[in-house]
Amino acid sequence: MGNNVIAIAVLAGLTFAVLPAQSLAQPVEVGIQDYKYNPPEIKVKVGTTVKWVNNEKRASHSILFTGPGGFESDRIFPGESWQRVFDKPGTYVYTCGPHPEMKGKVDVAE
């Protein structure tokens, strides 16, 4: 079965789907609350999606990558989220644009 093939089998009235592993992967979630990233540091494999969720009641935040090629996400308002796929190994340090005291890090390994 190739990576782009989805197989469905019906056995005893149950349906099973065989999907590529990447399709089944859930994003790794980082919460934002009390002006902190939780957890502040994570380790993931190449190809992982990280999703930041703003759990604050009133404050908006952003994800500002401070290393080479850094960039800032749009503002994330309460109840909203933003996500990024990490497709290269390395250490990605970030902060919040409007709240630079907030710090986080994503370590990406092969």
From first to last of its 110 residues, the chain has per-residue pLDDT tens of 444 444 444 444 444 444 444 445 799 999 999 999 999 999 999 999 999 999 999 999 999 999 888 999 999 999 999 999 999 999 999 999 999 999 999 999 99
| Domains assigned to the chain | 26-109 (2.60.40.420)
The answer to whether 94 and 84 have CB atoms below 8 angstroms apart is no
> What is the DSSP track for 18-82?
E--HHHHPPPEEEEEETTEEESSEEEEETTEEEEEEE--SS--B--EE-STT--BPPPB-TT-EE
Structural tokens at position 41: 């540091």
| pTM of structure | 0.77
CA distances from 104 to 30, 43, 76, 79, 110 (A): 10, 11, 16, 20, 20
